[in-house]
């Protein structure tokens, strides 16, 4: 089933849009089945789960951190991940930069935008994105490569369209500013229920889990 779903979704993605397989709670064997079907980027929410999968799978794919990165997990994270999609503060970014410097690595990152402007949600508020990116640009072992957003929890995917559109507008504005240290190459938006809407609004990375692997079992 995983193999068929991966192939079907990949076949339906427009040119220039890349699938990130959201592998939260999935076993290395499930992830390998998706890789064998053509998945090239694995997204993990937790460093511990990523480490377990990485130890079995290694560098056959790229690994993206797509969950909130705890500060005490940064050193481990920079050894596993090829990109961190969830940077939302200078404090976190400074820790990532320091850890990368120690191992001689430059980490591509995406800035997570709190596009729904929800007080309890992770992500930088839209009005503060440019300021944060300018600060991050002073770090030598970080490279800002674009933006990411989640949007509010909702049963109506269409309700996320304004959040995706807002994030795309910020993305375009930053790109037009031609900020030093910010390449603005990737716009990561949309999940299993909303990725088609996200693509319509400009996403070129889509993070899909349930549609690939089936419903999660949290037991």
Helix/strand number for the chain, H first, E second: 9, 8
Which domains occur in the chain, in start order? 2-213 (3.20.20.10)
pLDDT confidence of residue 128:
96
Give the angle subtended at the CA of 161 by the CAs of 186 and 168, to the nearest 5°: 30
Select from 135, 131, 123, 91 the least CA-distant residue to 189.
123
Q: Which tens digits make up the pLDDT trace of 45-81?
A: 999 999 999 999 999 999 999 999 999 999 999 999 9
Model pLDDT, residue 217: 66
What was the pLDDT predicted at 119?
A: 86
Q: What is the mean pLDDT of the chain?
A: 95
* Residues with Cβ within 8 Å of residue 77, at least 6 apart in sequence: 47, 50, 65, 69, 84, 96, 99
Instruction: Please state, in angstroms and rounded to a whole number, the distance separating the CA atoms of residues 151 and 212.
Output: 21
| Cα 31 → chain centroid | 17
- Identify which of 200, 85, 203, 189 has the alpha carbon closest to the alpha carbon of residue 145: 85
Predicted local confidence at residue 196, as pLDDT: 97
Residues of the chain with pLDDT under 70: 216-219
């Amino acid at each position: 089933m995983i193999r068929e779903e991966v192939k079907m979704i990949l076949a339906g993605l427009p040119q220039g849009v890349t699938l990130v397989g959201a592998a939260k709670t999935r076993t290395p064997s499930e992830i390998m089945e998706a890789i064998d079907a053509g998945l090239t980027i694995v997204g993990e929410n937790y460093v511990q789960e990523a480490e377990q999968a990485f130890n079995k799978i290694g560098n056959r794919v790229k690994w993206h951190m797509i969950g909130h990165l705890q500060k005490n997990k940064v050193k481990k994270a920079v050894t596993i991940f090829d990109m961190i999609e969830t940077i939302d503060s200078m404090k976190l970014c400074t820790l990532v930069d320091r850890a990368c410097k120690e191992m001689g690595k430059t980490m591509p990152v995406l800035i997570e935008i709190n596009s729904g402007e929800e007080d309890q949600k992770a992500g930088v508020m839209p009005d503060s994105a440019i300021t944060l990116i300018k600060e991050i640009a002073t770090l030598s072992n970080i490279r800002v490569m674009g933006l990411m957003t989640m949007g509010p929890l909702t049963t109506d995917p269409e309700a996320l369209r304004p959040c995706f559109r807002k994030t795309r507008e910020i993305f375009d504005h930053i790109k037009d500013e031609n900020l030093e240290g910010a390449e603005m190459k990737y716009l990561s938006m949309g999940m299993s229920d909303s990725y088609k809407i996200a693509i319509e609004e400009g996403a070129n990375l889509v993070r899909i889990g349930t549609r690939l692997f089936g419903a999660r079992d949290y037991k």
